[in-house]
Structure 1
Amino acid sequence: MSIARWTAHLRSRIIAFQRGDHRGVVAERALVHARNLWDVASSDPGGVPLEIAKVIAWVHWCRYRALGTTEGDEDLQAAMSLVAAIVELERDVVPQELLDFFDEYDAATDPQAQAQAAIELLSGSNGDSSILPRAIRMLASAVGKLPEDDPNLPHYLSYLSDTRQKLFKRDNNRAELDRALANDRRAVELTPEGSTELSRYLILLSLTLQSLFEHGDSLSHLDEAVEIGRKAVAATPPDDPELTTYMSILGLALRSRIGVTGTDDDIDEAIALASLALRRTSPGDPDLGERWSVLARAAWEKAMRSGALEDVDATLVAARNAVAATTPDHRDVSGRLADLAEVLVERFLHLGQLTDLDEAVTTARAAVGTARVDDPALDKMLSILSSALWRRFGHSGSLTDLDDAVDVMRRAVGIVEGDGGWLSNLGAVLRLRYQRTGNVADLDEAVTAIRGALEAVPPTHQEHAAVLANLGGALRMRFDERGEPTDLNDAITACRGAVAATDPEDPSFPAMLTNLGSLLQTRFARLGALDDINEAIAMALQATDVMPETHPGLAGVFGNLAAALHLRHTTTGEARDLEHAVATWTRAATMTTAPTIARLKAARGRAEAIADAEGPASAVAAYADAVRLLPLLLWREVSRDDQQYPMETVAAAIARDAAACAIEAGDGALAVEMLEQGRGITWSHLLGTRTDLTMLRHAYPDVAADLAACRAVLDGVGNDDEESRLWAAQEFDVLAARVRGLPRTADLPDPARFLHPPRLEDLLPRKGNDRIVLLNVSSWRCDALVLSHDGVTVVPLPTLTVDTVRDAAGRYLGALQEFEGTHGSSADRLVLEHGISDVLEWLWDHVAEPVLSALGHTSTPTGNWPRLWWCPTGALTVLPLHAAGYHGTAGRSVLDRVVSSYATTARSLARPRTRPAATGMLVVALPETPGRRRLPGTEDEQHLLAELFEKPTVLADAGATREAVSAELVEHDWFHASCHGTQSLRNPLAGGLLPYDWETEGLVGIDVLTDHPGGEFAFLSACTTATTGIANLDEVVAIASAMHQSGWRHVVATLWTVWDDAALAVSRALYPLLVRHGYPDASGTARALHRVTRELRDRDPDRPSTWAPFVHAGA
């Protein structure tokens, strides 16, 4: 029933009573209707309307008149309580008859008895909030009648304030808080100085003021809360047991003010109070957890302001103790768990230790899991969990963590609709997922969320600038995705607003300037308006002016300034801009206190500018400086995703361009050395192969640990301490020089070359007929660097360019992917074969034939075939160089002139490999894999190997689990995988073999396949096991190359999805050449695979898809 109908029913009963019919008001249904009307009306945020209160009061008055003084006493009290409340607000609305009686009744009621009755009513309510209005009316009536010198009046006023605040929590009627404040003020005013009760009334007034601030954002309330709290503490004797509580309450007020406008003095005072309160608290005190929690929150504010690790660690100790002192069923356990999780995330930002982040995720999940559904801090707990999850994603690359972070943040937004902070955080996480997955829907949702945040965060809010910057970043990404000018202009507007809203003294101010300057550069490059580039330069100059010399971000700002100057130079031709740009890039590249990635960006910009202005030969020294920085990129222990990012972006092509410039300058040896120093870095780091750092770790672990610690300071996140960065930079140089003077060891054979390029003589093949061909693809020029035991020969490739190679790779991959999406008809197959053949012929014309002719390989050998290792760079890494040629014409193909193998780098071939004793063959055979098509040839391959090898270990069908393959692989030196494989061109580290339980346990990936001290032979008879990713071409990230890098001497793999019968045909022809009289010998693998491939090609030259995908990597 509605309010209107209940009111009408009650009015009709009152009218009947006035006409002499008492039955309606004395009926039980009248009370039911009155209670229902009161309950519904009480839900109104503004409280019960006066008119409804008057109707209910009149019903009780009529019942009292009808029932008499004995039976109607409860109705009389109810009527008088309601009239008291109405009179307090608007006396004139009360009917005169009722008002006259009330005045007499109120005057006759003993205020002491009335107040005590209210207190007894509250104490016996067991938390029943329905009695709050009645108690308030009784207490208000009592305090209104007591004289101001009554000693009990402050006590009753305090009770009245507390009751009003409880009603506010129930109904959210702000007026009750204002009345509570007036009651507390009057209690303090009426309590004389020196009274033992004064401190209690003062602290209660401070709490009420804090509550008003929390629900109204009036800073004056908070300032007064602090001052009143200080008076309360000062007025409390040292031996008063309540002093500890009062200190904690003052500490809470200080912490609230610290979050808004607080000073370092406020922080220090809050920590001192919390520490003193803690010392006054015994170990078994039930408030011990609360004391630790107050200290943790105060220490957190100090840590956030100082950025010092020692302050974070101090906060962590307090937060851990707070959790330890809190029982699982405590009302605040979830909040304290959330505080601990937040500190753990911050500690991870300082040290990069995954254990901190794992604990943060676990702790935050526990906080959310123990929180009440209506916990007002649940949204913050969810935000902390989301933060921990997306940061762990950045470390582990787990998309599950990122998906969970988005889901958790969406839940937080749903709890507090329209909360600007949570909407902005949701937008940031969605932006991150877009960067990982490329899903534009995430980017659109991010923009929408951040726009919503902007509407919710007023310009006066301290986070307004951050939200504007977040919006600018999201719009910039969407512009890069779609090219819509509106997004770029809106991004500039947002970032301009962020600059205007940020105090120049704020640590984030340089970043705001830099973001705006970068956007203005982008718009200038698009539209050519000089005003944009001039302003961009001005922004960068202003940013450099406000940053200290050792600030970790200064090198990046200098880099942006140099880029803007160079961009203006390319438009206006102003020579001074070019000079200034080169000088600025040089300054940034040589800032040893800066993160490596910022230095590398600057070094690359400088080298490219010099090469462009003066010619590639003039830029050799500049490029050499850039290449020397490359090995430092991955010294920190970071996730695979973090490792790949700089290699795919900033580091991409630097080594190739450096080599091209050295060739232009006539120094082929230097070209080889720089190319080798700058490639294969990711592999070496991931697999622990012989990089300078891994060798040093084995030889001199203490020195290696000290060097790694220096890099952690310089390249880590969240570390802006100038003194520590300066010390780390100086210490790194001292330690590196010390390493170069260390004695040689087996693990560190040439310490004098530490962090220097490999020497050419260490890369040359040892056999006279062997050649290693480094195919260098650069925007400056393209060449083959041919290594023989005599030295290096440069073979120019004048018809090759970066664009033509990229085009050929696109046609090749496009043909394969297009066929994958068809039904595999004869017509589809014909299109595929033509597409592959077209690329093979192109490779012959522009790459293979010029190289082979220069080497003298102009016809098919009649005797011993020469060996050649292809070591491609750039987009050539995805192309089948070993199969290049015109296969319908005899002798015009690589297959007809040399035996081909592949290597990721020349040094991977130069690395000594001990030949293991054969320990048997492991066969993984999966003709049936859940969710994949059947591979009937797998069973035939299994039978073939069973005949050739003595007692091979076979993992077949459901026995070929990920765990079983992982366990058996390390026990065998021969390995044959006849199963499905998969590869992601954009994320090749995610590729691998599909075990039987791949849907639940995942792939047998690179991590498993390389966890081996070095096997002899592996045949990956699975699809795409040699396919290289396209995101980081120079790292040649593929399963086969990973196994070779990790120590496997010979790996046979496939470049694309192979026909089942083709894999079987190669197995049948290859293995008998490697196994003689039951004894396996893999030393002739390359020649054997070459022979088998030629035979298959000769049978069907027009179907390269059947014979061209099989490749050899290794010795």
Structure 2
Amino acid sequence: MDPVDEVDGAILAARSACRETDPASVVRLAALLYLRYEFLDPSRGASLRDVVFEAIVTGACDQVKPVDQLGVPLPSGYADPARAEALGEIVGLLEPLVSRLPGRPDCAALLAQGLLSRHRDTGAAAPLRRAVEVCERVLEDDAANPEALHCLSSALVALDPFDGDVERLAIAVRSSAQAAEYGPLPGPRKAVYLCGLSHAAQALFARTRQTDLLQCAVEAAADAVDLAEDIELVRAEAGYALGTAMLRTYEADPDLFPIESAVTCLREAASVEAKPEYVAALANGLVLMYFVNSDEDTLAEAASEAHRAIGLARPNHPNRHEFLQRRALTYYLGAITGGGDSLLTTALSFQRFAVGCLPPAHPRPAQYRGVLADIWLAEYDRTAAVDDLEGALESAAQARRQSGPDDPDHAEHLGRYARALAICHEETGESLHLERAILTTQDAVEITGLPDNVRGPLLLQLGTLLTRYGDQAGGQAFTAARNAARACADLAELVPFVRAQAGLLWAELAMDAEQWPEAGLACMRTLIAVRDMTGLEVSRDAQEGVLAQFSGLPMSAAACELHTGSADTALTVLELGRGVLLSQDMDLAGDIRALRQDAPELGERLAALHRERAESSAALHDMALTDAFLPYEAGGHGGRRRRSARTIQALIDEARLVPGHETFLLPPTIEELVAASALGPIAVINVSALRSDALVVQPTGITLVPLPALTPEAVEEVGARILGTVDRLDEPDGHDSMLDALAWLWDHLAEPVLAVAAPPHPGAPRPRLWWCPTGLLSFLPLHAAGHHRDDPGRSVQARAVSSYTPTIRALRRARAYARAVPQDADTTLLAVGVSDTPYAAERLPSAEKEAEAVARLHTGTTILTGPAATVEAVRAELPRHPRAHFACHGTLDPRSPSHNSLLLSDADDFLTAGDISRLDLSGAQLAYLSVCDTARPDPANADEALHIAGAFLLAGYPEVIGTLWRVPDAIGRRLARAFYGHLAAGCAPAHALDQATTELYRLAPDKPGLWANLVHFGA
């Protein structure tokens, strides 16, 4: 029988038996009615989300000017008639009985429960006050009644935002503690009382900031979790209490609990029972976790959960202000991280509604106005509207006034107000506003006892404001700004993003003052902070975003070191700050592979963790590709990735104790970097606005070659000329601009470098030379530099056999891969050719012919062409063949280079750079990518080798042939045939490519667009 029908039948029977003169029959009927009330669907009727969006559409916020009123109240009158009627009958039955028989605790407890439910449905304070009276009357006769004590505590905690009475909160804590200590209670019931104690202690902490209350809250909730047994709803309530207690503790002192522990508790609670307060608390935890890990997946889950919370909540929910702020904050964070300007407008409306819904004695009204100020400041940046500036200034001013010196957030409110003043200065040009902003920020910084996470952003703000003031006042302000930025960068416990921003400001100011040692130190501090933001725990998209933001810093850092005369340190800095993701993944895979030989158990454990991290990342990556974001599933994958990454970090020290593995995951020393030049010189070309140089690395040391003409602007212009040519190769003068650019590169880059790296030796074999370009040089064919119209001898091709490497560290790893391949290893090849793909409008008529031609030249070839060339088939075949050749379309994703793809025959799948990089191809030897742009980097992250060729290096291929631009099909097929012909004749891949391009060069030296597009990476 359906439980609801069963209760309805019992209610009919109880109505028939109910007599006013029989209190027990009245209580029984009321209890059954309350049980039936709990079966009513709380989601019936309008939700808080419905009401808010209706108010937005009807322009409720637009009708209230910020100078008149910051907060905007939501419309009322959305009570559910069925729920109101049910509670009305319950209260109507019990009120007369309680008045006549105040000594019946069962009746009073049930009435108190009904009144608390009425408060939760309506948001009104009157039912709470009556519940307090009822419970206090029971306790007059039975001071130890646990149910009355628990109800009293719950009512007092719920009443706090209306009254703000600290003494009554202290009574709530004592009442809950007394209830939990009452005699022999069933475990689940005691768990409920302990949850009440935890919530009461949290509420009192919000008023008094006494940290022992947080310990009480956490311990009570943890005990509740232990006592909840297998009662799911009690377990969810206990998880919610523990999660919120841990969040409050984390906000007070981030060192006491990892934020993820709180999120795990709250995620489990919300999965058992989707109460709006559970889901909103989970969203809050995810936002706090996002502030730590900068992971966009975490922010996306937070936004989804905040949205779900307001959909679950009734319009009059007592905590609706909290739910609205959670959603406003996720909209705001989404907007400032690139989610779209319209999100700011929505965030602003939500926060104004949150402020408008605040109860009269809320413990943190300033915090709500502070968030409103943040959103309004961002909205003003977008709109430059006077109303938005007035709203930001008034919100910040009210937050400052309401907080007071004893408020733990007072310094942050001062900082917000100073930011608003600084914008007023920008708007009006009045220096008084800027001076007040500086003084207000200084007042905030000087508050004693500030944690690093508060003091740091204020110091950064002070440095920024002083820099602006220095433009007017001169040197002393710049010195003070530099000192503030340095003080911020020196805060070891500060989140890395703020440290990095401060370090960057410090570095720029030191460079402007030509204080090169200090500037070099500032750059190094910034690079270390960037490294901390791109650790193993962080998603690939987030890593790429961080590196793009600080792109160019390693080159500036190296230039500062060269100004001090330290070429060794300059090279070390470039290796630290460039190719971060490639080195991170290549080193992890390579070092684990080596460790398994000497410590199999530890190596296998690390390998399993590495696989788990990769699989979780792949699942999130697939969600991103298909826009199939599922919050709980994404949260689970993200949690597994972070846990496996943290465990890997914890095992690093253990791995370094294994003999021969003392440098496990450590960067190479300068001696090891120099030793990498044993097979041929390495030319590291550093381009920056400060100075440009080549660092020619040879076994004898590092030679500095100044390149004064190689400015960033000149490189950009040369790049535009070369890349602008590649779409005009079939025009009569299509190659002229490229020829001019290549001649310029010879005069100002290649010739000075080769004078050191490969001086002329007539009759001697040409040496190998590895180019390691930085920044926009990574787009350019340095191997083709020369005067090809009139003097072929003045060309790189005439002097050296060129290869490329993203970093020397990556070159060392590629050579380690090559050494691991046995001399008698199999050399079979997988040839993939796809002429038609659903995602490319243009056919590649020769792609399949190219694959077949390669197969004729290379013995032991497996061919996948046409419909057979699916992603699944290619993934299955790649590990079985040490060599691979691809002739197909490729695509670049400017949002996330890890999503750059090879387009095969699938209509619903891609072979992405991320997929390739996660393959374990320990026996790989060579990949030839006859695909357009496979070696062209992402402009925003030119130093990260985030292209498909780099992905094959990462997957374990020691040598990769890639393309810088597309050439006609016939040329591509000709070059491939020539390459494999020379490979079959015994040439190494770099020499085979050199021979193939030289043959075409001799036929058409004045058409570099045809013969210069292929490049060799690796060993």
The 2-side partners of 1:321 and 1:862 are apart by: 86
Residue 573 of structure 1 deviates from its aligned partner by 1.3
**What is residue 431 of structure 2 aligned with on the other side?**
530
Match of 2:73 in 1: none
| Equivalent in 233, 248, 252 of residue 154 of structure 2 | 252
Please give the residue correspondences for 1:3-402 in structure 2 after superposition, counting only pairs within 5 Å.
170=81, 190-191=100-101, 196-197=103-104, 199-200=105-106, 202-203=108-109, 206-207=112-113, 210=116, 214=120, 222=128, 225-226=131-132, 228-233=134-139, 235-236=141-142, 243-257=145-159, 261=164, 265=170, 268-269=173-174, 271-273=176-178, 275-276=180-181, 280-281=185-186, 294=196, 315=221, 318=224, 324-326=230-232, 364=270, 367-368=273-274, 377=275, 380=277, 383=280, 402=300
What is the identity, as a one-letter code, of the residue corresponding to 1:987?
S
Question: How many angstroms apart in 2 are the aligned matches of 1:637 and 1:290?
Answer: 36
Q: Partner of 1:1034 in structure 2?
A: 943
CA displacement at 1:1030 relative to structure 2: 2.7
Q: Secondary structure at the match of 2:329?
A: helix
Please, what TM-score do these two structures have when normalized by structure 2? 0.73
Task: Give the match for residue 553 of structure 2.
Answer: 654
1:667 lines up with 2:667 in the alignment: no
Q: Equivalents in 1 of 2:294, 2:846: separation in Å?
A: 37
Matched, 1:611 2:511: yes
2:339 counterpart of 1:429: no
Q: CA contact under 8 A between 1:644 and 1:1032: conserved in structure 2?
A: yes
**Aligned counterpart for 2:809 among listed residues 907, 911, 922:** 907
Q: What is the aligned counterpart of 1:922 among 830, 848, 862?
A: 830
Amino acid in the other structure paired with 2:661: D
* 1:795 pairs with 2:686: no
Partner of 1:992: 901
SS in 2 for 1:1031: helix
Mapped contact 1:300–1:312 kept (Cα < 8 A): no
User: Which is worse superposed, 301-310 or 556-565?
Assistant: 301-310
User: Equivalent of 1:1003, from 912, 934, 944?
Assistant: 912
Q: For the residues of structure 1 that align with 2:266 and 2:891, how far apart are their CA atoms?
A: 34
Secondary structure in structure 2 of the residue aligned to 1:685: helix
**Alignment CA distance shift 1:677-1:787 (3 Å):** same
Is residue 764–residue 787 contact of structure 1 (8 Å, CA) maintained in 2? yes
SS of residue paired to 1:865: coil
Cα distance in 1 for residues equivalent to 2:840 and 2:796:
35
Instruction: Quote the offset at 1:1111 in angstroms.
Output: 1.6
Distance 1:321 1:176, change over 3 A: closer
Question: Match for 2:186: what amino acid?
Answer: T
- The 1:894/1:181 distance shift into structure 2, 3 A limit, reads same
TM-score, normalised via structure 1 length: 0.67
Deviation at 1:778, TM superposition (A): 2.4
| Counterpart contact for 2:534–2:543, Cα < 8 Å | yes
Matched, 1:936 2:841: no
Partners of 2:442 and 2:503 in 1: how far apart?
A: 19
Query: 992-1001 or 939-948: which moved more?
Result: 992-1001
Q: Secondary structure of 2:1015's match? A: strand
Higher Cα Rg: structure 1 or 2? 1
Instruction: Return closer, same or farther for 1:769/1:251 CA change in 2, 3 Å cut-off.
Output: closer
Measured at CA, do residues 968 and 324 of structure 1 come closer, stay the same or move farther in structure 2, by a change above 3 Å? Answer: farther
580, 586, 602: which one pairs with 2:480? 580
1:1108 aligns with 2:1019: no
Asked if the contact 2:695/2:703 (under 8 Å) is kept, the reply is yes
Residue 440 (str. 1) matches residue 341 (str. 2):
yes
Question: What CA deviation, in whole Å up to 9, does each residue of 1:420-457 have, x standing for no partner?
Answer: 55454444333444455553344444445445555555
Q: SS state of the match for residue 976, structure 1?
A: strand
Q: Which residue, out of 1088, 1096, 1105, partners 2:992?
A: 1088
Decide whether aligned partners of structure 1 residues 282 and 621 sit closer, same or farther in structure 2, where only a CA change above 3 A counts. closer
Distance 1:265-1:345 versus aligned 2 partners, 3 A rule: closer
Superposed CA offset, 1:1053-1103 (max 9, x none): 123455544432332121121224xxxx6x722222233234334545566
Sort the Cα spacing of 1:540 and 1:401 in 2 relative to 1 into closer, same or farther, 3 A: closer
Q: Name the CA shift for 1:168/1:954 in 2 (closer, same or farther; >3 Å).
A: closer
The 3-state SS of whatever aligns with 2:940 is coil
Aligned to 1:748: 662
2:702 counterpart SS class: strand
Residue 216 of structure 1 deviates from its aligned partner by: 6.9
1:346 Cα deviation from its structure 2 partner:
8.8
Q: How far apart are 1:668 and its partner, in Å?
A: 2.0
The one-letter code sitting in structure 2 at the alignment partner of 1:661 is C
Alpha-carbon contact 2:244-2:262 (below 8 Å) kept: no
The residue aligned with 2:307 is: 409
Letter matched to residue 930 of structure 1:
P
- Supply the RMSD in Å over aligned alpha carbons: 5.4
The 5 Å alignment of 1:599-998 reads 599-616=499-516, 619-627=519-527, 631-635=531-535, 637-649=537-549, 651-689=550-588, 745-749=659-663, 759-764=669-674, 770-806=680-716, 840=742, 843-844=745-746, 846-852=748-754, 855=757, 863-885=764-786, 887-891=788-792, 893-911=795-813, 913=816, 914-917=819-822, 918-919=825-826, 920-933=828-841, 934-997=843-906
Q: Would you say the 8 A contact 1:976–1:1021 is kept in 2? A: yes
1:1004-1019 correspondence to structure 2 within 5 Å: 1005-1006=914-915, 1008-1009=917-918, 1011-1013=920-922, 1015-1019=924-928
Stretch deviating more after TM superposition (997-1006 or 339-348): 339-348
1:683-729 Cα offsets, whole Å, 9 max, x none, are 33344449999999999989x99xx9xxxxxxxxxxxxxxxxxxxxx
Offset from partner CA, 1:110-169 (integer Å, 9 cap, x none): x9799999999999999999xxxxxxxxxxxxxxxxxxxxxxxxxxxxxxxxxxxxx996
The aligned amino acid for 2:709 is: T
Query: Aligned with 2:446: secondary structure?
Result: helix
- SS of the equivalent of 1:871 reads strand
Alignment map for 1:469-488 (pairs within 5 Å): 469-477=370-378
1:509 corresponds to: 410
- Structure with higher RCO (Cα < 8 A, 6+ apart): 2
Asked if residue 1063 in structure 1 is aligned to residue 972 in structure 2, the reply is: yes
Q: Secondary structure at 1:571's aligned position in 2? A: helix
- The count of residues paired between Structure 1 and Structure 2 equals 894
Q: Which runs of 5+ in 1 are unaligned?
A: 1-110, 130-166, 369-376, 709-734, 820-825
Give the drift of 1:987. 1.9
1:668 and 1:792 in contact (8 A); partners too = yes
Q: Which amino acid aligns with 1:607?
A: A
Distance in 2, matches of 1:1104 and 1:482, equals 49
Deviations 1:464-506 (A, max 9, x none): 5444444444454455567777756654444344433435434
Contact 1:320/1:340, CA 8 A, preserved across alignment: no
Q: Quick check: 2:197–2:217 contact (8 Å CA) kept in 1?
A: no
Cα distance change of structure 1 residues 184 and 498 upon mapping to structure 2, 3 Å threshold: same
